[in-house]
Structure 1
Amino acid sequence: MRFFKEQLSNKGVYAIISLFALYYSCKTENSRIGDLGSATSNMALEEDYVDKLELCGKYLDSLTKTNTRDELEKFYLKSREVFKRLEPLLAFQDLENYKFFNAPNILKVEEEDATDIKIRQPRSFQVLEEAIFTDTLDVASIHIMGDLLKNRLALLAKNTDFGYLRDHHFLWILRNGFLRVALTGITGFDSPVLENSLSESVMVYETLADILQVNKSKFKKVELYEEWSTEISTSISTLSQGDFKSFDRYHFIKEHTQKQLRLFNRTVEDWGVSFPFSMAITNDATSLFSDGTFNQDYFSDRGSATMTAERIGLGKELFNDTRLSRSGKISCASCHNSDLAFTDGKKISDGQVRNSPTLTYSSLQQSFFYDRRAGSLEGQIVSVVENDSEFHSDLENLTEMVKASSDYNEKFQELYTKGTTDYNIRNAIAQYIRSLSSFDSKFDNNINGYENSLTQSEKNGFNLFMGKAKCATCHFAPLFNGTVPPNFAETEIELLGVPMANDTLNATIDGDLGAYNLFGTEQRKFFFKTPTIRNIEKTAPYMHNGVYNTLEEVVDFYNRGGGAGIGIDAEYQTLPPEPLELTEQEQQELIDFMKTLTDFPKSDNIENEIGQSAI
């Protein structure tokens, strides 16, 4: 399935252009495309792209014809290099196939509903990497995997069409490319064994340079193109000189990724581009760490009303109103205290089976509850209303209660076309929750250049989080939750092997089956959604069962290798079982960094609370 494909009104023009001597031979891994002008740039990129698909397939074919370790490693590395050079275009042109090729070596479970559950073994470059760079080779399995990937690449090559690409597509490709490098590429997300993340990111940037060069004639300001060229060259140089464990990711994101976002915006203006819609990241975002970075509509119900200060203020009143519950004693705020980053400070919330998660930044994900059983905030609120140990009510009673309040009813009549309906009530509460993503922590203010107050320990902690400690391969910046950038279309769940008690000697896994309870899928036992660690300093105790009281205990758990590191045998554990081997100082640095993600306290003034971007 192609991503945002737009049909051309006249494809015949490309057949005519092909008669011109435009064929660009790119049978090498590192091709360069000249500036061909807008009329021919699509064709030049398409030819280069197909050549690379075929070259990648040829290396995989060679891999399937050798049995020696040296040759297997050589052809894997060559095929992987070409794949990474394909990444910016492949990930945009065909996101699902890109995810197939770049999937982690963990079981893929797709649950549409109870009657449509698919269990798939991973087939990807990551699987090949782990199979080849290991002590014991299973050559037959490696050959089978190589053949499968090769055949899929061949199918892609036969069905490639770049004729639909327009200026705004090229800009999205460019932005997705450098954001993917910053948010997953340099973290080790897709090179778990070799940790070739920095060199592979260089390959991505070289392709981005090619894409810009193809579109050079579109720049009205030549100096802007030259700025891009210098910036990409500097990024490549910085990455080339780095070591995976010691690389300064904080500096790279602050000085390069953030700068590239600003260059992107200047290019949009220079090209005169008008985007047809906004994806997860707003088209005019100038920072990854801002209340203007994300498009709330992308994460909201399709029927969700536009966010306004008045609707958010109404939602805040409802959020704190105990009359919404049948007992008249419970409100949303009963389990989500604003002073504790909208948690309740308890191991398990009263009447519940799990710890109360923070509501800050909770709107910026694609599923809700620890087991992902709700697909929107409005849907999540239904469960709260109907839960016997929470509101113990139903949507009809909820609506009647709100209608009975002349103040509420008047506001709904004024703010919503259909007035006081159960959906509008839920939408107002959801809008208030959506306003709780302020991006004004110490870390945000520093990486945005508003202040220079991060200690070296805090910077070291961020670099560990994004590198050696592998935290960011599950808690993705800038949200630091499980919603995968740069598309932010999926929120992941993980099996960590969380113990029932804080016991490293006789540990047993907690009995909560998590996502298994949704459809009874055996391979989903003990899986839980990855929450944000923003405001983590205020949200103790930790994990879905509140088993850990301090961040020191949490870091120790991960440092040991999760459940596997304390003797829990969980077959599908997604966390690498090997110890991280963090020193005591490194563990403290990680904690120091996480505490910089605490938002500044808000006033009761709703305009200040939501920020101008939400109004």
Structure 2
Amino acid sequence: MTSIKQAATLLLILTITTLLAIFCTQKQAPAERVKALFSKELAGLQLQVDQQLFSAVQQKDEQKIKAAFIAARAQYKKIEYYVEYFFPSSSAMINGAPIDEIELGENLVEKPTGFQVMEELIYEAPTAENREALLNEVKKMQLNLKRMDRYNQQYEITDAQLFDAIRLELFRITSLGITGFDTPAALQSLPEAAAALNGIMDVLNFYGASEDLHSTLKTAIAALEAAKDFNSFDRLNFITAYLQPIGEQADQLRRELKTGTAASGSALQDDAVSLFQKNAFNVNRFVGNHTEYQSDTKIALGKLLFNSSILSNAGNRSCASCHHENKAFTDGLATAEGLKGTLLRNTPTLTYAGLQRGFFYDLKAGSLEDQALDVVHHKNEMDGSLQSAAERLNKDKTYVKAFAAAFKDKAGQADPWRIQHALASYIRSLSPFSSRLDKYMQGDKKQLNAEEKSGFNLFMGKAKCGSCHFAPLFNGTQAPLFQKSEAEVLGVPSRPDTINASIDKDEGRYTLNPYPQYKYAFKTTSLRNVSKTAPYMHNGVYKTLEEVLDFYNRGGGAGIGIVLDNQTLAPDPLNLSKKEIQDIVAFLKTLDDE
């Protein structure tokens, strides 16, 4: 009898436990369900890496290696929105760029690891050495995935964070995903974008996505899956017809649920739903702290100082001496004319300069304030002194009034920092986003013709321009967080010679920081207003955009006989036709502000 009672009691406990589990699952908050889904998808990724990829590499079966790698990274893309948002350090180890990460302050060089490193190894000719390296990469991946799983158990996530993660993932797909940025050899960017959208759809369904939103997602995924090939895909239409509407509809769902926005650390406005919308950027996210925020009075003062020669000791030089507004704040010269002879480098545009994280071609300045300090004190540029300039400014009633208004200081006293900050504030204001491309992306479909549309698609696809000049800034500051400005080693020649080319003597970042990786590395500048900023490259070697594109089409320096072990630009020819080059040039002209 006792055993029967025990069995009955056990059955009752099991029944109650099952009912409670079902009830709790049904009542589980959407964020908790997403977290559980992530754990499940992460387990699926671990399984693929452990059983398929690891096994294929051990067996040295090249066909299986590629198939397992493609399947594993597609699975990763399905949870990319979550990993990038909640585990940014882990994301760098799982799918970070395959280049050394140099921490200048700590004199530390971190070797890359993850899927992109694997891809380079998998798609080059197999050798015993690189297959051993590949096996080590897989083992590191296994450890990193296990570590992330442990971290996830300790996390509490919110609805606002998940909507923000989805928003940023849509921007990531727009600027990086469909360009082939992280899959240059396997060319899996379109199916991987489909996987990423599938991951987004799973989350939004937990939040009760509308039929319209669900339909748009399904149609977008189908468009990616039906694409004939990487080169012919219509990225412009995909962004405007699918990605932007998905962003708008997801945000509408967020607002209907009365879910707030989250401060994610992106330089975009927290409620921006498109990379190309008006006022998408929060310029104050590019400055150090709240004391450096923009104001109309700071901008007005900065403009006054920018165009005045009062900052130079001799009173014969201003910022505008080299940065001409009608040339998008460049000077039209190969390299600038200094007070005591020609300067080393080309004068870069100041338009959109405020929306980046490093300044000068060698990234030696970390802020626009630091840049102003360097230029004013440079003996061959302005040969000035900020302290002496402040003394002169404090004797001028016009400037005293302007400083008082800008810094809420009745005395209106200038000092070196205030001068630097006013100049920086003016330069930060030079980002109007008024080009024909911006207007097209905002809904005016009459702005671009067929040639320009083709040029955009080539730029973001076959020509691979968009994998270094990231939309929407088209500089080296990467979406969607815009936290770092990149430099590249292109192999720029000293003369426009394709037969007997030699590397330009300027060693770029290496001059200041002598790491071998930095030799001949220069900042990736903005292409906005590029038709107004000729000549091009750090040394002004190319006079036309056609010449620049010919250089890239050949494979950069490697394509004209310049041998650099550290060239970061892919050395392979792009095989662009003359018509395709014309289309890209036509597109680049749509980036001019109006």
State TM-score, norm by structure 1: 0.88
Matched residue, 1:603? none
Match of 1:91 in 2: 84
Deviation at 1:57, TM superposition (A): 3.4
Tell me by how many angstroms 1:110 deviates: 1.2
Distance 1:263 1:153, change over 3 A: same
Deviation for aligned residue 1:315: 1.2
- C-alpha distance in 2 between matches for 1:360 and 1:228: 37
Q: Which one of the candidate residues 492, 513, 520 is aligned to 1:526?
A: 520
Which residue identity lines up with residue 132 of structure 1 in the other structure? Answer: I
More off after superposition, 539-548 vs 90-99: 90-99
1:227 aligned to 2:212?
yes
> What residue number does 1:151 align with?
143
2:10 aligns to what?
A: none
Partners of 2:270 and 2:581 lie apart in 1 by 37
Q: Please name the residue that 1:488 is paired with.
A: 482
1:596 matched to which residue of 2? 590
- Please tell me whether the aligned partners of residues 22 and 44 of structure 1 are also in contact (alpha carbons under 8 angstroms): no
Indicate how the Cα distance of structure 1 residues 139 and 596 shifts in structure 2: closer, same or farther if over 3 A, else same: same
Contact 2:297 2:405 in 1 (8 A): no
CA distances 1:501-547 after superposition (whole Å, capped 9, x unpaired):
00001111101111112222232110000000010000000000000
Q: How many residues align?
A: 566
Correspondences of 1:246-285 after superposition (within 5 Å): 246-275=232-261, 277=263, 279-285=266-272
SS of 1:404's equivalent in the other structure is coil
Q: Which residue of 2 aligns with 1:214?
A: 206
Structure possessing the higher radius of gyration over alpha carbons: 2
Cα distance change on mapping 1:98 and 1:259 into 2, 3 Å: same
CA RMSD, aligned part only? 2.3
Cα distance 1:253–1:284, how it changes in 2: closer, same or farther (>3 A)? same
1:202 aligns with 2:194: yes
Corresponding position of 2:368: 377
2:322 is aligned with 1:342: no
Query: 1:172-200 CA distances to partner (integer Å, 9 max, x unpaired)?
Result: 11101111111100000011112111000
Q: Deviations over 1:425-461 (max 9, x none)?
A: 2222112111111111111111212351311111000
- Give the AA of the match of 1:84: K
CA distance in structure 2 between the partners assigned to 1:366 and 1:23 by the alignment: 50
Give the aligned partner of residue 360 of structure 1.
Answer: 351
Q: What are the superposed Cα offsets for residues 540-590 of structure 1, whole Å, 9 maximum, x if unpaired?
A: 000000000001100000000000000001111000001000011101111
Equivalent runs, 1:312-461 vs 2, <5 Å: 312-351=299-338, 352-417=343-408, 419=412, 420-461=414-455
For residues 319 and 20 of structure 1, the distance between their equivalents in structure 2, rounded to whole angstroms, comes to 70
For 1:407, what is the secondary structure of its paired residue?
helix
The residue aligned with 2:46 is: 54
Q: Which runs of 5+ in 2 are unaligned?
A: 1-16
Deviations 1:345-369 (A, max 9, x none): 0100112210000011111111111
Query: What is the deviation of 1:376?
Result: 1.1
Q: Alpha-carbon deviation of 1:131?
A: 1.6
The reply on whether 1:575 has 2:583 as its aligned counterpart is no
Select between 393-402 and 428-437 the one with higher mean Cα deviation.
Answer: 393-402
One-letter identity of the residue aligned with 2:337 = D
Work out whether 1:105 is the aligned partner of 2:98: yes
Q: Counterparts of 1:509 and 1:326 in 2: how far apart (Å)?
A: 37
**Given the superposition, is the C-alpha separation of residues 72 and 287 from structure 1 closer, same or farther in structure 2, using an over 3 Å criterion?**
closer
- Note if contact 2:386-2:419 (Cα within 8 Å) is conserved in structure 1: no
Counterpart CA distance in 1 for 2:39 and 2:584 is: 46
Which residue does the alignment assign to 1:121? 111
Moved more, 487-496 or 276-285: 276-285
For residues 364 and 168 of structure 1, the distance between their equivalents in structure 2, rounded to whole angstroms, comes to 26
CA pair 431-22 structure 1, distance change in 2 beyond 3 A: farther
Say whether 1:472 aligns with 2:457. Answer: no
Contact 1:301 1:378 in 2 (8 A): no
Once residues 388 and 464 of structure 1 are traced to their aligned partners in structure 2, the CA distance between those partners, rounded to angstroms, is: 43
Shift of 1:103: 2.5
Q: More deviation in 404-413 or 168-177? A: 404-413
Give the Å deviation of 1:73: 1.8
Residues in 2 aligned to 1:276 and 1:78: alpha-carbon distance in whole angstroms: 32
Deviations 1:488-512 (A, max 9, x none): 1111110000000000011111011
**What's the CA shift for 1:308?**
2.5
Q: Which moved more, 1:472-481 or 1:325-334?
A: 325-334
1:356-394 residue CA offsets vs partner (Å, 9 max, x unmatched):
000111111111111111111111111112111122223
Say which SS state the counterpart of residue 109 (structure 2) adopts.
strand
User: Any stretches of 5+ residues in structure 1 without a counterpart?
Assistant: 1-16, 25-32, 217-223, 601-615
Q: Is the 8 A contact 2:352 2:430 kept in 1?
A: yes
Q: Which amino acid aligns with 2:122?
A: I
* SS, match of residue 65 in structure 1: helix
Give the match's secondary structure for 1:494: strand
Alpha-carbon distance, 1:272 to partner:
1.9
Structure 1 residues 23, 271: closer, same or farther in 2, change over 3 A? closer
Match among 139, 163, 172 for residue 171 of structure 1? 163
1:496/1:562 contact within 8 Å kept:
yes
Corresponding residue SS for 1:345: coil
Identify if the C-alpha distance between structure 1 residues 393 and 18 changes in structure 2 by more than 3 Å, giving closer, same or farther. Answer: farther
Q: Which has the higher helix share?
A: 2
**Rounded Cα–Cα distance in structure 1 between residues aligned with 2:579 and 2:22:** 58
Identity of aligned residues (%): 38
2:5 equivalent in structure 1 = none
